[in-house]
Chain A
Amino acid sequence: MNALYSLFAVFALVVIALVGAGAAGMEQLFGLYIPWLAIAVFLVGFVAKVIGWAKSPVPFRIPTTAGQMKSHDWIRHDKYDNPATAGQTFVRMALEVLLFRSLFRNLTAQRFGSAQDGVDVKIRYASAKWLWLFALIFHYSFLVVFIRHWRLFLDPVPSALLALEYADTFLQIGAPALYMSGAALALGVSLLLLRRFVVPQVRYISQPADYFPLFLILGVALSGILMRYWAKTDIMAVKEVTMALFSLNPAVHIEGIGVVFFVHVFLVSCLIAYLPFSKLMHMGGVFLSPTRNLPNDSRARYHRNPWNDPNVKAHSYAAYEDEFREKMIEAGLPVEKTLEEAAKTEAQ
């Protein structure tokens, strides 16, 4: 059900663009003003979110880790999983951001044995690398697709983009040549969707907020692929619009562009405007996760709680018990020292 709602939401967006830019002829609105609005929402929303996070105090070190903390010299320290210094934390973050190291640890629970064999059913955990693999395919192809689009945003086109274009069409399949990154993106996002459909545990916890971004990205990818290979449109006319978009020039005359283009751009606008308010914000969040970006030096360094009021003196449990022992015994609460023992220590 969650998946269907999300799918219909994306269909509704497609219909809005089809009607708005296609039937009602509001090309200027869908080609320029909505994208501008979406970009503004994205930039302001993103910065506001990060500043909001930056304002939350993180007084203690809370890295989550599965590695050995720095300890005695004869115990091997897992430097890049349980970092003790800023340098090691940097490496840990780089591995996380670039290689998704924590997904590499993804486990699956398997049942083995069965009552029929006369063996108890047991559970065991096995490595499940496929989530990591799908995520890598998806994110890196998305990155290439994103950067590759800059050929339409920049003029003259920098030679680095030509090199990327060359590499991406290296297989020279058909004309216009197949972009490997586009195919990989559609594949990656489909695999991530299938994962939510197929794995019962994951399906159980999947919300519309999980399906919607996946369907939206799938919609963006499919409309782009459709526009390049099938419902083709004049790319030179498109470049005039995209150049006007990125040089903030509303005076451009939009003509001769197929409606797929507006559907594509509208879906992208929705995606980027939605990004700062959605789970997709992990794009910035990964850098600000205190469970990742802090060295685990709680035992090596003294971290003072910034909220400690110097006027509030420490009150140890022993002192507390001394103060309330009689009342505690009356109330039937366990005490460390009985009244007699306490009297004895005091007498000494």
Chain B
Amino acid sequence: MYDGGKIIAGLIVFLGIVGFPFWYNAGSAGYKTPELKLPPKSKATECIEATEWMRAEHMQLLNTWRDSVVREGNLEYTTASGSHVEMSLQKSCMDCHDSKKDFCDKCHTAAAVEPYCWDCHIAPKEEK
């Protein structure tokens, strides 16, 4: 090999970078989605829409709620099953999901999203 030292060094740096997720995770115990604190059974047993759907679509739902309240003055959401909910982040979602820290943030920290909603909206008081 010609210039072998430099080329091998370059390759090692390259493998170090592209393989980073492997090195970072090596030896760590299997990853699991964090446990969420769900609303107590006495309060509610299901979300406003199907749980699977909520997991994937809740941000979209909140976005349409926001537009429809703020731009169209529409305050009521009709769920797929026909019941009515007030379209409100603080008064609906956070009424059932009364802990941002143990619910929303659990997923969001793992997925590295930080919704900026809380710059303005007020999260429920966390019990210590």
A43 adjacent to B112 (CB under 8 Å): no
In the complex, what's the smallest C-beta–C-beta distance from A99 to chain B, in angstroms? 20
A161 adjacent to B1 (CB under 8 Å): no
In the complex, what's the smallest C-beta–C-beta distance from A306 to chain B, in angstroms? 9
CB-defined interface of A136-158 with B at 8 Å, one 1/0 digit per residue? 00000000000000111111110
A54 adjacent to B1 (CB under 8 Å): yes
A50 adjacent to B57 (CB under 8 Å): no
Assess whether B22 is interfacial by the CB under 8 Å rule.
Answer: yes
In the complex, what's the smallest C-beta–C-beta distance from A51 to chain B, in angstroms? 7
Report how far A79 CA is from B53 CA in the complex, Å.
Answer: 61
A150 adjacent to B55 (CB under 8 Å): no
The bracket for how many chain A residues form the interface is 35 or more
CB-defined interface of B1-39 with A at 8 Å, one 1/0 digit per residue? 111100100110011001111101110101111000000
A55 adjacent to B2 (CB under 8 Å): yes
| Among A65-73, A234-242, A307-315, the stretch in contact with B | A234-242
Assess whether B70 is interfacial by the CB under 8 Å rule.
Answer: no
CB-defined interface of A168-188 with B at 8 Å, one 1/0 digit per residue? 000010111000000000000
Of B1, B25, B26, B60, the contact of A243 (CB 8 Å cutoff): B25
A236 adjacent to B2 (CB under 8 Å): no
Report how far A111 CA is from B18 CA in the complex, Å.
Answer: 46
In the complex, what's the smallest C-beta–C-beta distance from A269 to chain B, in angstroms? 15
Residues of A within 8 A of B10 (CB): 50, 287
Assess whether B45 is interfacial by the CB under 8 Å rule.
Answer: no
**B20: nearest chain-A partner, CB-CB:** A150
Given contacts A175-B62, A232-B57, A247-B30, 20 further A-B contacts (CB under 8 A): A46-B14, A50-B10, A54-B2, A54-B4, A153-B21, A155-B31, A155-B110, A157-B112, A165-B112, A175-B59, A175-B63, A175-B115, A176-B113, A233-B56, A234-B52, A236-B55, A240-B32, A246-B25, A248-B22, A288-B7
**A155: nearest chain-B partner, CB-CB:** B31
A151 adjacent to B25 (CB under 8 Å): no
In the complex, what's the smallest C-beta–C-beta distance from A30 to chain B, in angstroms? 19
A-side residues, CB < 8 A to B, are 43, 46-47, 50-51, 54-58, 150-157, 161-162, 165-166, 172, 174-176, 232-237, 239-240, 243-244, 246-249, 251-252, 256, 258, 284, 287-288
Query: Would you give 19 A-B contacts (Cβ < 8 Å), ordered by A?
Result: A43-B19, A46-B14, A50-B10, A50-B11, A155-B31, A157-B112, A175-B62, A232-B56, A234-B55, A235-B107, A236-B55, A236-B107, A236-B110, A239-B110, A239-B111, A244-B31, A246-B25, A256-B55, A258-B56
Residues of B within 8 A of A165 (CB): 112-114
B-side residues, CB < 8 A to A, are 1-4, 7, 10-11, 14-15, 18-22, 24-26, 28, 30-33, 52, 55-57, 59-60, 62-63, 107, 109-116
B56 adjacent to A54 (CB under 8 Å): no
Residues of A within 8 A of B57 (CB): 232
B30 adjacent to A246 (CB under 8 Å): no
Query: Contacts A175-B63, A234-B56, A247-B26 given: A151-B111 contact, CB under 8 Å?
Result: yes
Residues of B within 8 A of A247 (CB): 22, 25-26, 28, 30-31
In the complex, what's the smallest C-beta–C-beta distance from A238 to chain B, in angstroms? 9
B22 adjacent to A246 (CB under 8 Å): yes
Report how far A211 CA is from B70 CA in the complex, Å.
Answer: 46
Residues of B within 8 A of A243 (CB): 25, 30-31
A236 adjacent to B22 (CB under 8 Å): no
Report how far A91 CA is from B48 CA in the complex, Å.
Answer: 59
